[in-house]
Chains A and B, each alone.
Chain A
């Protein structure tokens, strides 16, 4: 028999594509149920205030309206959304109620919900609800929130509602004795990964069975099932979450939001299926926001440019409440400042600040995008101050392979031990520089060509992946000899179905079409975790390997029985059990023998994809416009399952990073009104914006922490972009001595930096 060519590592076209291309996907708004009603949410138009009175009588009287619910009808105490990741008792007072009861703390917070025959009638009814709100002064900026006097939670006495300490060794007197120190205040603005499909929930209550079925689940259906079951006081197995297709996640979508309670609540109350589809304005107001962190950072080096220590004092503006994933960014921003560099002593304090903005949480590269902006900006400033080439400066400080694994700085409270696993950091830096023609382009630095100043920058990053604790996969041999693979991983557009099929097909030595992947329902496996922290390939993939190993041994045992020989006398090859005596049986013949297994992969160690990016920009100093002339990225993902989908992740991730660095910005006024409330105001990249991107993914250092060797990828493209772009702009405008300290690098900001520059160009 000819050797089977592995499918892992091949650019297999995606299994997911066909349905989507034919227009036969199944997104939340595609669900139509008999007797279905439609919901619309009345949201606070006030940033901070106290609800005195809600009059819903006119709305209830409107023809076609079935019900209007506010906190009154939902019942007190109103359920509050739990913190899913790294919960801490200290966060309890700051959790979000599923509907405002008394105070409103951000524009967009749900106040009431209308259920009507059509979405349009439900929205007509919203206009008839009268809400009397006593308006309080709002705080939106970090400075205002810190200064007060307006408090989101009066009894707490401060808008600083939590904090983390991150430490590595003692800074001691490093900053007093070092040959070189520099201190800066840097800021990363609020933006997020708005998804093309807005959120949506369809809920259907079966009163006879006491069973709640919800469509529209994304990212973490199992966690949300648990939360919802608790709020509805139902056993978990009486709540089902169905995923369907998900129109993007990027970390922001699929967490438990107020509507994930309100819609099932209404469906049960009315005994009719209820659909709610978020509109774009609501999405911009109420989706998980991200970033918005200020950092006073100081770096100390010796005279040769070796970093001795970094000290950071950070304030992260998380908006009005702690929600499911809010803890991640403030933790990461503190832990990731050292990145792939040797920072012998490190200290960061991260203050979590509440303000009258939408609650924040994870978005692609949470905390890491921000940390990399802070670090890479400081590296370029220090290198320039010390007169050391910026590449050479990085070489002197990158961790060598001999220094790995390298523990992260310790974080408290809720400590987690993690370490950089493996990597040839400097080697990949060299590969990136070579691909970008770095050396040949150095003559362009700061040069004015056809009215624009050219600049190049380089940076290095690490990306965390493969969050534990567990992931499940169940394999079942079907009657037709194919294998059904049920997984707890979620599909959010990243191609997980194809990836897991490749892994399973190789493990079972079968062709692709012999494997059928089922994901997207909480009924498929007992326990699933979902798709976040670049974990699905590593965690789901390893669960598949475990399940495959087990059902192969079941097949061997069953095959041995059929072939009338002992278990030692059979082997498994390409989907057949072969006996030493020459006979063999295929999978069809083994069907009916109850061959099935649900495996769980446990992992507490993270993977760290790493790499380097180079950007070449041209800056129009008169208009402030920045063009990306060339963008080169290389990342080592350890082991590549599908180069086609990985490349797609890499490019998409970089473009999102560029959007965040240059275009995307949630602007709030002092009263808490969000001014970026449409896609004409919240600017995401278009096809014409960033055509010049070159990325490659390589397999250099597999993760030593699990059998597959792959490292979580998909966020790495975003992480370094902010710092890199700011450094490239500084390089381009070096004759003006322009040093960006804030994102986004909007035309207005660049122009202002040039206007205010200490020195004008001689050009």
Chain B
């Protein structure tokens, strides 16, 4: 299909971009376009104006410091893939992003675009949620820092205002020695996940789990955290018995929809399976992946 009609602007400053968004009802931000343009190609969205942010300065870098990561909204998947610093600075982030789509998409798709699109099966919303990221957006009212937990409202729906543009996403620091894993199941390589589970935790000197994070994509309206499973894990030693309980609890906690690729009960079971596999993997791999 051919796209519906819209106007196009390519402003050179953030202020100008925000002004265009507020002046034009139904305007949308165009970043890499890899989520937005397919929607237009099916005429499932009809924006009046696309505001292309490719010329905005300073949103295309990954900055690493003791405070964590600051990832610009226009950072493309291929940059994350190629950034050797991330192997230690945030291995989970890099590993998850390697599951995003395909080569050509990864050359154009951006962090901000994926967050704004808010597909509950996508990796970037998932990693933002499981890592407790802050999403920074700027609009007419100034800068707003939104917790990932508050950002994703429903499938393809966020708490962004019409005039707001995501400028960066901030990750809390990643301590060395942290245990982590990400298991995703898709029909084919690069497809959206039928379900994916990210886990990470630290092991204290007493050998028990601390600060467990368990995040799930593909099994709800938004990327989700399994609080109950995290509570089950914290303070415990990881053994097969605990993994079995976590698996069961994970599966019971989610209530996924059915679609043509998988029924809800299958997805429930899959979340349990991937949780168990993730925990085993994380335990045995340690910091090395």
Contact = CB atoms under 8 A, between A and B. Distances in A.
A665 B259 CA distance: 13
A623 B185 contact: yes
B187 A119 contact: no
Interface in B220-275: 260-263, 266, 269-270, 273
A747 B189 contact: no
Given A676-B260, A747-B262, A622 B191 contact: no
B107 interface: no
A663 interface: yes
Contact of B263 (A680, A685, A748): A748
Contact of B191 (A123, A124, A624, A680): A680
Contacts, number: 61
A76 to B, nearest CB: 30
A622 to B, nearest CB: 5
A681 interface: yes
A647 interface: no
Nearest to A121: B2
A622 B270 CA distance: 7
B37 to A, nearest CB: 13
Interface size class of B (residues with CB under 8 A): 20 to 34
A57 interface: no
Interface in B1-59: 1-5, 42-43
A669 B168 CA distance: 42
A678 B192 CA distance: 13
B1 A123 contact: yes
A124 B270 CA distance: 43
B266 A748 contact: yes
A270 interface: no
A39 to B, nearest CB: 12
Contacts of A120: 2-3, 5
Given A123-B1, A124-B5, A747-B194, A683 B187 contact: yes
A439 interface: no
A686 B273 contact: no
Contacts of B189: 686, 688-689
A80 B269 CA distance: 50
A438 interface: no
A416 interface: no
Contact of B185 (A124, A676, A747): A747
Contacts of B261: 681, 746, 748
Contacts of A144: none
B259 to A, nearest CB: 8
A279 B1 CA distance: 6
Nearest to A675: B260
Given A124-B4, A751-B269, A686 B42 contact: no
Given A625-B185, A667-B260, A683 B191 contact: yes
Contacts of A624: 266
Nearest to A663: B187
A281 B43 CA distance: 12
Contacts of B270: 623, 751
B114 to A, nearest CB: 16
Interface string A594-637: 00000000000000000000000000001111000000000000
Nearest to A685: B188
A747 B261 CA distance: 9
Given A281-B1, A681-B260, A751-B266, A688 B188 contact: yes
A622 B190 CA distance: 21
Interface in A203-246: none
Given A683-B191, A686-B190, A688-B188, A119 B260 contact: no
A675 B5 CA distance: 26
Contacts of B194: 747
Given A281-B42, A675-B260, A752 B266 contact: yes
Contacts of B262: 746-748
Interface string A744-759: 0011100110010000
Contacts of B273: 622-623
Interface in A660-692: 663, 665, 667, 675-676, 678, 680-681, 683, 685-686, 688-689
B108 to A, nearest CB: 17
Interface in A726-763: 746-748, 751-752, 755
Contacts of B187: 663, 683, 746-747
A129 B189 CA distance: 40
A118 B261 CA distance: 36
A751 B273 CA distance: 12
Contacts of A622: 269, 273
B84 to A, nearest CB: 25
A686 B102 CA distance: 11
Contacts of B188: 663, 683, 685-686, 688-689
Given A120-B2, A747-B194, A752-B266, A678 B185 contact: no
A118 to B, nearest CB: 8
Interface in B193-242: 194
A209 to B, nearest CB: 34
A96 B188 CA distance: 36
Given A680-B191, A680-B192, A748-B261, A119 B266 contact: no
A686 B101 CA distance: 13
A292 B263 CA distance: 21
A681 B266 CA distance: 18
A683 B190 CA distance: 12
A624 B274 CA distance: 13
B53 to A, nearest CB: 25
Nearest to A623: B185
Contacts of B266: 624, 747-748, 751-752
Nearest to A118: B2
A746 B190 CA distance: 17
A541 B260 CA distance: 45
A683 B43 CA distance: 22
A748 B262 CA distance: 6
Contacts of B1: 123, 279, 281
Nearest to B2: A120
Interface string A368-412: 000000000000000000000000000000000000000000000
Nearest to B1: A279
A752 B266 CA distance: 8
Interface in B165-198: 185, 187-192, 194
B195 to A, nearest CB: 9
Nearest to A119: B2
Nearest to A279: B1
A681 B188 CA distance: 11
Residue picked from A663, A678, A748, most chain B C-beta under 10 Å: A748
A622 B267 CA distance: 11
Contacts of B263: 748, 752
Contacts of A127: 43
A116 to B, nearest CB: 11
A678 B42 contact: yes
A44 to B, nearest CB: 16
A624 B185 CA distance: 10
For the complex of A and B, the 7 pairs showing the least CB-CB separation, nearest first, are A120-B2, A688-B189, A667-B260, A622-B273, A748-B266, A748-B262, A675-B260
Interface of B: 1-5, 42-43, 185, 187-192, 194, 260-263, 266, 269-270, 273
Given A624-B266, A747-B187, 13 more contacts: A118-B2, A120-B2, A120-B3, A120-B5, A279-B1, A281-B42, A663-B188, A667-B260, A681-B261, A683-B191, A686-B190, A752-B263, A752-B266
Interface of A: 118-120, 123-124, 127, 279, 281, 622-625, 663, 665, 667, 675-676, 678, 680-681, 683, 685-686, 688-689, 746-748, 751-752, 755
29 contacts: A118-B2, A119-B2, A120-B3, A123-B2, A127-B43, A281-B1, A281-B42, A622-B273, A623-B270, A624-B266, A663-B187, A663-B188, A665-B260, A676-B260, A681-B260, A683-B188, A686-B189, A688-B189, A689-B188, A689-B189, A746-B261, A746-B262, A747-B266, A748-B261, A748-B263, A748-B266, A751-B266, A752-B263, A755-B269
